[in-house]
Structure 1
């Protein structure tokens, strides 16, 4: 039998699940103790006390039968059973209940009404509706009588004390356990925040604390973070150095080419420009989202500024009206996001004639969309297109100049650094490629 349907009703957070794991045994234990107490201890005590009262009731009935007449029953019982503290008096047959009377929650009364008539054959009905008194109706030679005595003689006194104690101490233990559990889960939450911040490109101070297992996980995270930061730093320094060292011979080549004849110089200068663009693309890919720190930014202003710069550079780019009515700021790395948008716009105008950029801002999501009217990318190759150094020559138009296959890879890397994703699809408006950077606020 499958219990997968239970997942829909289980809490999601670790804290809620831990509280549930803690409460279920406590509640189950209280229920078991309650049932055992009612069925064994409480009922057993009530049975023993009922047996003792049954003997006293039989004795009282004998005293009543020995009374000379119906009117002297009360005084005769008082004289004959003064030490038992039991009273008796004659009643009219119409006053005798037709059935046993007890409250629904009177568990010990269930034992009394079932045992006492069996022990004393003359008992007809029992009234347990009064909290402190028991009224037993019986048949005698003088007619029906009612025998009254204290309820504590057939039931254990204050049985509710056990339940009160169980609820009080169970609640106290639960509160203490929840407070202790919160302290144990706090280091896990700190580790989760530090890992999430690192995934978004931020360096949040973190010191391992808590239980041994949590400290081990925290130390492993710090080691991993340090190794990744060292690798990123080394990669950046290496490619930055290579890029810097190559710029000098490229500059000398430009100077040398300027002295050649025009018909010979044009093709070589184009090669030098392509090499310069490749170096810039490599450096941008290495930098990724590593430059700058996230800060509150109005995405509408940021996108408008990037589009305006692209238009100044001669690109046919249009900023569409904002989708929705969302406003406010989003934590973004400005330099990295500008680089991602610039790469998407460059790809759009390189492989198409025009591009359109739009922004959608909601309470939970930021979406920046770049569409073009180019040939697009087949759905089966979109995942491949976001990998570094991938050029889909068969899918994209190469007539307007080639690249090194890093434009979409840079945008993907920057989106991931912001905790988001780059989604590629077909543009319903222009028919080309649609690239969406989606980031959670």
Structure 2
């Protein structure tokens, strides 16, 4: 339970976690050194100096006890113990503090009080609040006495210097470590940016740098990116070549059918048109996401263009009012997004009577939704539906149109992934058919 609670407050980024790994040992080490110094060195020195003052106080008390009257105490101190530089003055009981006085941070003062209580039987109170002076109140045969001497005689001078040096050098070394850590993490962040850009269909120049392990990971990423790009290029060339080669015999067949009787040629001409549609779908799939570079586009204006094109083609589709509180532009491939939305609209009106398109734009996300009133796709078949050349005839209404070649949703999925997003299928709440969402991070 504790670790689950602690995990919520841990840094999310690699820079924050590396900084925590760096700072935590330094802080713990400084705290341990401070405690050890305070308990062993600082406390030991204070005890030694206090013992020296206690021996001097014992001499003072001997002189006081030997004086005939309280008025002769000062004279006796001046004659016998002037070298100790201590002043002794009688005080009344009302002038004695009710408790030992010291600053809240005066660690050596607490050590002194404990030492005086154990070693000086006549000890009453200790006042350490006066600047540079100590007032020691004791009992004598003449009543309470105030023995005054300098604070530097009972505690080390400038005891804070070690702490200042420790934390100053610790802070300096931490800054140096941060600079070095930043230089070490910069190649990792560059690799992450290059990988994120490639996932969104953008090619960012990247050269492996940094430590050996980071260079190895960067080189593996570059090789992987090159292989993926070669595979995409080979797929495009293969499908484009096959589709192009098949156009020539189809054209000859169309010309041949145009010369025979119209009634006899109509079924064959329909087959040729279907084959032409299949080839067009193959070409669309081959083009994939290679249509231009990403640019900053207004998604609302882009969808307005897509709906107008679909309506001119005779499709029953409506653009709903904008949703969300986001504004501005999103980096998109214009032709690729238009192709993906056109495929979704074509599927919607093929298997349903009408379709609706909506755009949700927030500060972090763009969502383009296409809904229809058709039969939809069962949940257990939605993963299969987005695969290339997959046709789910039992799940869709074949009587509403031609079955196609099963590339519409696959093309939309590829385009969404190329923008760093995804295509999600669900059930439409408003129309009751299929709901297809293209979701892209801004």
The match for 1:17 is 17
- Once the two structures are TM-superposed, the CA of residue 327 in structure 1 deviates from its matched residue by 3.1
Tell me which moved more, 353-362 or 14-23: 353-362
Contact 1:198/1:204 (8 A) holds in 2: yes
**Residues 120-145 of structure 1 deviation map (CA, whole Å, 9 limit, x = unaligned):** 21222221222411111112222221
1:394 counterpart SS class: helix
- Segments of 5+ residues of structure 2 without an aligned counterpart are none
TM-score w.r.t. length of structure 2: 0.97
How many equivalent pairs are there? 441
2 CA distance for matches of 1:410 and 1:278?
A: 14
- Once the two structures are TM-superposed, the CA of residue 405 in structure 1 deviates from its matched residue by 0.9
2 CA distance for matches of 1:426 and 1:402?
A: 21
- Once the two structures are TM-superposed, the CA of residue 152 in structure 1 deviates from its matched residue by 1.4
The match for 1:420 is 421
2:359 counterpart SS class: strand
Contact 2:371/2:428 (8 A) holds in 1: yes
The match for 1:405 is 406
2:395 counterpart SS class: coil
2 CA distance for matches of 1:338 and 1:298?
A: 13
The match for 1:46 is 46
1:253 counterpart SS class: helix
1:268 aligns with 2:268: yes
TM-score w.r.t. length of structure 1: 0.97
- Once the two structures are TM-superposed, the CA of residue 325 in structure 1 deviates from its matched residue by 5.1
Contact 2:393/2:403 (8 A) holds in 1: no
1:143 counterpart SS class: coil
2 CA distance for matches of 1:118 and 1:429?
A: 87
Contact 1:45/1:156 (8 A) holds in 2: yes
CA distance 1:41–1:352, shift in 2 (3 Å): same
**Residues 298-334 of structure 1 deviation map (CA, whole Å, 9 limit, x = unaligned):** 1122111121111222211222222245432110001
Superposed, 1:165-314 pairs within 5 Å as: 165-314=165-314
Contact 1:92/1:144 (8 A) holds in 2: yes
The match for 2:439 is 438
**Residues 277-300 of structure 1 deviation map (CA, whole Å, 9 limit, x = unaligned):** 111112211221122110111112
- Once the two structures are TM-superposed, the CA of residue 75 in structure 1 deviates from its matched residue by 2.1
2 CA distance for matches of 1:150 and 1:380?
A: 88
Superposed, 1:53-72 pairs within 5 Å as: 53-72=53-72
Tell me which moved more, 400-409 or 326-335: 326-335
2 CA distance for matches of 1:307 and 1:46?
A: 86
2:398 counterpart SS class: coil
CA distance 1:374–1:35, shift in 2 (3 Å): same
Contact 1:385/1:391 (8 A) holds in 2: yes
Tell me which moved more, 255-264 or 10-19: 255-264
CA distance 1:281–1:169, shift in 2 (3 Å): same
The match for 1:77 is 77
- Segments of 5+ residues of structure 1 without an aligned counterpart are none
Contact 2:122/2:138 (8 A) holds in 1: yes
- Once the two structures are TM-superposed, the CA of residue 23 in structure 1 deviates from its matched residue by 1.1
2 CA distance for matches of 1:49 and 1:25?
A: 34
2 CA distance for matches of 1:119 and 1:258?
A: 125
The match for 1:361 is 361
